[in-house]
Amino acid sequence: MYIGKLAKLTGASPKAIRLYESIGLIPIPSREGKYRIYSDKDVALMHMIRRAQAVGFNLAELKELVALKTKSNRFPIEIANELIASKREKLRSDMDKINLLDRQLIELHEELNRTFG
């Protein structure tokens, strides 16, 4: 399939797909003349990249996983799991901070209403 179809199937722009190629996130596709030809594997990989970005992973973190995969010729599932666990821990910490801020806002609201209401 051509880049336009890959873009349509994955929601990524052709520009983003070319960027992912240039930084090594997805393999350089074969060519048919001047056109890039993508496979179903590329669709799956693009979906994984887009999903990882949606939950907070940046391209540098994803590139590190791809580099490790290329180096060892297998996906570094242990490292991926560690990265996910780390993201979840950061999220829980952020949630605790947000909950504390919410409680402080409630207290401020109550205090203002008692004092000036």
Is residue 80 within 8 Å of residue 55, measured between CB atoms? Answer: no
Element (H, E) at 32: strand 30-32
Residue percentage of the chain with pLDDT more than 90: 85
Residue percentage of the chain with pLDDT more than 70: 100
Which structure tokens are listed for 15?
Answer: 């520009």
pLDDT digits (tens, 9 = 90+) for 46-71: 999 999 999 999 999 999 888 888 88
Residues 108 and 55 in one domain: no
pLDDT digits (tens, 9 = 90+) for 71-102: 888 989 999 999 999 999 999 999 999 999 99
Residues 42 and 98 in one domain: no
- pLDDT the model gives residue 21: 94
- Output the domain CATH number for residue 13: 1.10.1660.10
pLDDT digits (tens, 9 = 90+) for 12-46: 999 999 999 999 899 999 999 999 999 999 999 99
Q: Domain range for residue 91?
A: 76-117
Give the span between the Cα atoms of 69 and 74, in whole angstroms: 5
At 26 the three-state DSSP class reads coil
